[in-house]
Chains A and B, each alone.
Chain A
Amino acid sequence: DTGVSQNPRHKITKRGQNVTFRCDPISEHNRLYWYRQTLGQGPEFLTYFQNEAQLEKSRLLSDRFSAERPKGSFSTLEIQRTEQGDSAMYLCASSLVIGTKETQYFGPGTRLLVL
């Protein structure tokens, strides 16, 4: 399978704990995006990387959220001191940008439940 993969697929945690999610993009894709999707809503943009550089992070929901893509390949999204309101599906997408043309391909998501 050469699509975007995300791990874990499901995470249950207690309020106040830290969680980390991993995304492996499609090989050779230079952009990687993180989105959050709450029940009954469309995905909401959080942040994105061009290779290893994080070019937009103002949409991260709070300073408890952080993301890395250290070698320009896989990425991690960390949520510190989780709150019940963080319960959602976290989606990763990757793309290969050629000029101005780009299509984002999404992974299956990580569903987070904060108790």
Chain B
Amino acid sequence: AQSVAQPEDQVNVAEGNPLTVKCTYSVSGNPYLFWYVQYPNRGLQFLLKYITGDNLVKGSYGFEAEFNKSQTSFHLKKPSALVSDSALYFCAVRDMNNNAGNMLTFGGGTRLMVKP
């Protein structure tokens, strides 16, 4: 079984400050890891993914994420937050060895609030 935990329901940060949104995962094999962002009444928008290679992955809109195998974490980061980054962020995992159709398992989401 695969699972994802996002321990923070909400993260508050001031505009211009760095932000971190936490994610830990559990899979039986090697993980594919993803971050998606959701704006109100919209679908999920792909931000970035980790498959193999460098542990630091760069994605859209200045976001990056760091894969840490020993801590089974994939935290989302951005050096300088913008008010427009305020949204709901979802971490997702797929087990590379999962035979159940490459389904993504999502965390419960973290609401990011960036204040001016």
Q: Which residues of A contact B (CB under 8 A)?
A: 4, 6, 31, 33, 35, 40-45, 48, 55-56, 58-59, 91, 93, 97, 100-109, 111
Contact = CB atoms under 8 A, between A and B. Distances in A.
Interface in B56-107: 90, 92, 96, 100-107
Contact of B44 (A48, A97, A106, A111): A106
Contacts of B42: 108-109
B108 A105 contact: no
Given A42-B4, A45-B103, A93-B44, 13 more contacts: A33-B104, A35-B104, A41-B108, A41-B109, A42-B108, A44-B106, A91-B43, A91-B44, A100-B96, A101-B51, A102-B102, A103-B46, A106-B45
A59 B90 contact: no
A56 B101 contact: yes
A35 B103 CA distance: 10
- The 4 A-B residue pairs with the shortest CB-CB distance, nearest first, are A42-B106, A56-B101, A45-B103, A106-B43
A18 to B, nearest CB: 24
Contacts of B107: 42
Contacts of A109: 42-43
Contacts of A58: 100
Interface of B: 4, 32, 34, 36, 41-46, 49, 51, 90, 92, 96, 100-109
A43 B90 CA distance: 9
A4 B42 CA distance: 12
A56 B100 contact: yes
B49 A106 contact: no
B108 A43 contact: no
Contacts of A91: 43-44
B105 A4 contact: no
A43 B106 contact: yes
